[in-house]
Chains A and B, each alone.
Chain A
Amino acid sequence: MSGALPTSEHRPTLASGVRLHHDAIRERHVLLFPEGALVLNETAAAVLALCDGVRTIDDIAAELAPQFGGADVRADVAELVAGIAAEGLMDRDDER
């Protein structure tokens, strides 16, 4: 469950069967999964779009930093990934 934050070397990816989608008519990003949808803010959508199982938490933070005035967003990325993982929507290491 939630609690432990992923390490900076963790390479997050969405769980199988979970998809990022732009809901055009409601002008928002959502995560789609079996029988449900989770509404995302712009930042969360930007982070999750980079969760490809290749980039690490550090990579994602570095890539997004320019959008946040060069700030260090590593902690924010890790917290967001942990939050989505707590919903069961990120790939879990024990399932790989």
Chain B
Amino acid sequence: MSAEPTTTFAQPGLAIPYPLLLVAELSYVCPLKCPYCSNPTSIVGARRSQELATEEWSRVFHEAGKLGVLQLALTGGEPLLRKDLEELCSAGRDAGMYSTLVTSAVPGLADRVAGLKDAGLDHVQISIQHADPEKSELIGGAVSFQQKLDAAAATRELGMPLTINVVLHRLNLDDLDAIIELAASLGARRLELANTQYHGWAKLNRQALLPTREQVVRGEETVLRARERYGARMEILWVLPDMFEDLPKPCMGGWASDAIIIDPNGRALPCQSAATLTDLPVEHVREQTLEQIWFDSESFNKYRGTAWMQDACVTCPLQRQHVDHGGCRCQALALTGDAANTDPVCHLSPHHGDLVAMRDGELAVPVAERPELVYRTTARPRA
């Protein structure tokens, strides 16, 4: 090891816990084109040759295990596009982490899942776009429905735990009952129902995807009824839509408090949308160890604690600055122009009125006049 003194951006006196979760985005490329994707729109032109190599990921997993990370999410883009996924599962297991494959199930998870399990994969999480095959493919922009069903069945046949996740929006909220039934029939132990967070491609498609308040209220009622029906057989998570809330979520449980995200090319970030924070310094696993990035880097320390907060949070009459940590930095930047502002979802934010006006303005546009979906892609447009 080098004996050079370490530069640290850690704030004196602020305790930093060890991380619990590593999100490994293995590739930006994806066979699906979901317009609600939270990946940054800057992924257009992403090249697979720039992705981290097998041995680089293995080293990162090893460092993560040493650093106390317990959960590993293998995601993308589509992680199944990595030919070395079996090796990466095995590296995750060797590092002591519990691994989850977060996948569209395309291409070909059904045929590959047994080998992935043998290599060390613990848990499979499959996305569903809709309970109806045609609508599913309209939202996902690709033929995939049957492959998802086959992969879910193959996963359950192996006795592996299965989670189904569904991102909710105007085009599928009214069919929530059928979606829940589908997840149960596939043998899901957990069902994550997450209303769209408007980052990346989803921000581009906000007008097309934004549901009405009535849709959201009915959706929540549907979830409450389903929880009674399924009890402990299937855990149903419901992630509220920010646009209709007046208190922010504790985004990521606080900035850099338990998770590290590594993008396909090796950039380390404190959240999956943080690449949208254009002035955030770049930390790269090819240049630093995870330990250095976690404890000492500028970007991971930037919004830790409360010292960076603006007045609305510092003087919070609800004392929520230690509860919700000021909400989401990416949303603050996207909607107020400054990532250090209080999340405008908060009714105490001076920008909350702007968010309400924007939301109501977009909802006032008749559905027929809403823009068409812009599908996610990594391909450059042809000249």
Q: Can you name the residue of chain A whose Cβ is closest to the Cβ of B235? A: A88
- B356 contacts the other chain (Cβ, under 8 Å)? no
- A3 contacts the other chain (Cβ, under 8 Å)? no
Whole-angstrom CA separation of A30 from B159 in the bound complex: 22
- B190 contacts the other chain (Cβ, under 8 Å)? yes
Q: Which residues in window 29-78 of A have CB below 8 A to B? A: 30, 32-37
- B20 contacts the other chain (Cβ, under 8 Å)? yes
Residue of A21, A25, A26, A88 near B98 (CB, 8 A) is A21
Residues of A within 8 A of B100 (CB): 34-35
Count, A-B residue pairs, CB within 8 A:
53
CB <8 Å contact, A88 and B232 = yes
In the assembled complex, the CB of A43 is this many whole angstroms from the nearest CB of chain B, namely 21
Determine the main DSSP class of A at the interface with B.
loop
In the assembled complex, the CB of A15 is this many whole angstroms from the nearest CB of chain B, namely 8
Whole-angstrom CA separation of A24 from B66 in the bound complex: 8
In the assembled complex, the CB of A86 is this many whole angstroms from the nearest CB of chain B, namely 9
Residue of B18, B20, B123 near A37 (CB, 8 A) is B20
Q: How large is the interface on B (under 10, 10 to 19, 20 to 34, 35 or more residues)?
A: 20 to 34
- B170 contacts the other chain (Cβ, under 8 Å)? no
On whether A17 and B160 interact (CB within 8 A), knowing A33-B98, A35-B100, A35-B190, the answer reads yes
CB <8 Å contact, B18 and A34 = no
Whole-angstrom CA separation of A34 from B20 in the bound complex: 13
Residues of B within 8 A of A35 (CB): 71, 100, 163, 190
In the assembled complex, the CB of B191 is this many whole angstroms from the nearest CB of chain A, namely 12
Residues of A within 8 A of B18 (CB): 25-26
Residues of A within 8 A of B190 (CB): 34-35
Residue of A15, A16, A32 near B71 (CB, 8 A) is A32
- B296 contacts the other chain (Cβ, under 8 Å)? no
Whole-angstrom CA separation of A96 from B66 in the bound complex: 36
Residues of A within 8 A of B67 (CB): 25
Residues of A within 8 A of B351 (CB): none
Residue of B66, B96, B163 near A34 (CB, 8 A) is B163
What does the 1/0 interface line of B55-74 toward A look like (CB < 8 Å)? 00000000000111011000
CB <8 Å contact, A37 and B71 = yes
Q: Can you name the residue of chain A whose Cβ is closest to the Cβ of B20? A: A37
- B189 contacts the other chain (Cβ, under 8 Å)? yes
- A4 contacts the other chain (Cβ, under 8 Å)? no
Taking A37-B20, A88-B232 as given, write out 6 further A-B residue pairs in contact, using a Cβ cutoff of 8 Å, ordered by the A residue number: A17-B123, A17-B161, A25-B68, A32-B122, A33-B98, A37-B70
26 residue pairs bridging A and B, Cβ less than 8 Å apart: A16-B160, A16-B161, A17-B122, A17-B123, A17-B161, A19-B98, A19-B122, A21-B70, A21-B96, A23-B68, A23-B70, A24-B96, A25-B68, A26-B68, A32-B71, A32-B122, A33-B123, A33-B161, A34-B100, A34-B163, A35-B163, A35-B190, A36-B71, A37-B20, A37-B70, A37-B71
Q: Which residues of B are interface residues toward A (Cβ below 8 A)?
A: 18, 20, 66-68, 70-71, 96, 98, 100, 122-123, 125, 159-161, 163, 189-190, 232
